[in-house]
């Protein structure tokens, strides 16, 4: 039973199209994230949600819109795709401790490889 | 700008030797420190966490933390070819609403 699952695993699409990636976690965690990993393998945070509330929104183009319908789900919609959007997108989740602080232990999904042609 | 620095490698180590991976961080009030391993084409997985100064051992892995020097390291004893991967250092902030920062990773190659 996969803890953090993302779909689809692969997307190949043309520039200008719109695409969505879905993520679900069954760990009961309060916090979910979207990370982007580029060709140089640098893992960069895009968004963080805590209990459906947006906590972190890095300097990401507004073509990227996250949505969290509940604390177990975090989806990512990308409009007007560009070549530079090609990357692997990882969803992750973590729990906060009893003080509400990060535990720092992230559980990652398998990643969604997006290729924009 | 809070940063986590790692040597990108590749670091080549003979099988059976000790692999030493290093990480420095800029935010002096960072709370917790983690090492993630990422195999090619796979997602990162947590292998070690360390919260206080000193050494923490888990099997063949030892994490070392020196907060005064803002330095974290990971030692892998008796290196195996299966240890070949990219190792990511991650640092958590004091502020719960601040982001967890990853280094760019060090590629480790264990030579059979």
d(CA B7, CA A115): 28
Give pLDDT, residue B40. Answer: 93
Pick the residue from chain B with its C-alpha nearest to A87.
B41
Q: State phi, psi for B81 to the nearest 5 degrees.
A: -55, -30
Residue A52 pLDDT grade (very low, low, confident, very high; cuts 50, 70, 90): confident
pLDDT of A2 > 90? The answer is no
Indicate the residue of A56, A104, A110 with minimum beta-carbon distance to B90. Answer: A104
Give pLDDT, residue B97. Answer: 65
Give pLDDT, residue A67. Answer: 94
Q: Which of A12, A18, A8 is nearest to A91 (CA)?
A: A8
The segments of chain B whose pLDDT lies below 70 read 1, 94-97
Give pLDDT, residue A102. Answer: 66
Residue A1 pLDDT grade (very low, low, confident, very high; cuts 50, 70, 90): low
Range of lowest pLDDT (A17-31, A49-63, A76-90, B48-62) = A49-63
Pick the residue from chain A with its C-alpha nearest to B86.
A41
pLDDT digits (tens, 9 = 90+) for A70-110: 999 999 999 999 999 999 999 999 987 766 666 778 999 99
Q: Which of A99, A50, A101 is nearest to A72 (CA)?
A: A50
Taking the CA atoms of A98, A102, A103 and A107 in sequence, report the sign of the dihedral they define: positive
Give pLDDT, residue A26. Answer: 95
d(CA A101, CA B97): 8
Give pLDDT, residue B3. Answer: 86
Task: Give the three-state DSSP class for B81.
Answer: helix
Give pLDDT, residue B96. Answer: 62
pLDDT of A17 > 90? The answer is yes
Give pLDDT, residue A22. Answer: 98
B44 and A108 within 8 Å at the Cβ level: the answer is: yes
Q: Mutate which of B36, B98, B100 to test chain A, going by most A C-beta atoms within 10 A?
A: B100
Q: State phi, psi for A78 to the nearest 5 degrees.
A: -125, 120
d(CA A3, CA A91): 11
Residue written as token pair 């997985």: B45
A45 and B86 within 8 Å at the Cβ level: the answer is: no
Pick the residue from chain B with its C-alpha nearest to A45.
B99
**Beta bridge pairs of residue A114:** A11, A87
CB B44 within 8 A of CB A108: yes
**Mean of per-residue pLDDT scores for chain A:** 91
């Amino acid at each position: 039973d996969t803890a953090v699952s993302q779909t689809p695993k692969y997307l190949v699409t043309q520039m200008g199209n719109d695409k969505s990636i879905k993520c679900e976690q069954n760990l009961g965690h309060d916090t979910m994230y979207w990370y982007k990993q580029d060709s140089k393998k640098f893992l960069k945070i895009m968004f963080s949600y805590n209990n459906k509330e947006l906590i972190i929104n890095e300097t990401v183009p507004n073509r990227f819109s996250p949505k969290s319908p509940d604390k177990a789900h975090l989806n990512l919609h990308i409009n007007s795709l560009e070549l530079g959007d090609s990357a692997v997108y990882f969803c992750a989740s973590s729990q906060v401790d009893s003080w509400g602080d990060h535990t720092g232990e992230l559980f990652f999904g398998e990643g969604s490889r997006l290729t924009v042609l | 700008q809070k940063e986590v620095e790692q040597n990108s490698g590749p670091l080549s180590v003979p099988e059976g030797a000790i692999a030493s991976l290093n990480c420095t961080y800029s935010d002096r009030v960072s709370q917790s420190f983690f090492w993630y391993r990422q195999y090619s084409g796979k997602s990162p997985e947590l292998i070690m966490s360390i919260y206080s100064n000193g050494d923490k051992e888990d099997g063949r892995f030892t994490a070392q933390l020196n907060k005064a020097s803002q330095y974290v390291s990971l030692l892998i004893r008796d290196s195996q070819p299966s240890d070949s991967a990219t190792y990511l250092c991650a640092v958590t902030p004091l502020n719960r609403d601040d982001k967890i920062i990853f280094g760019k990773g060090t590629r480790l190659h264990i030579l059979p």
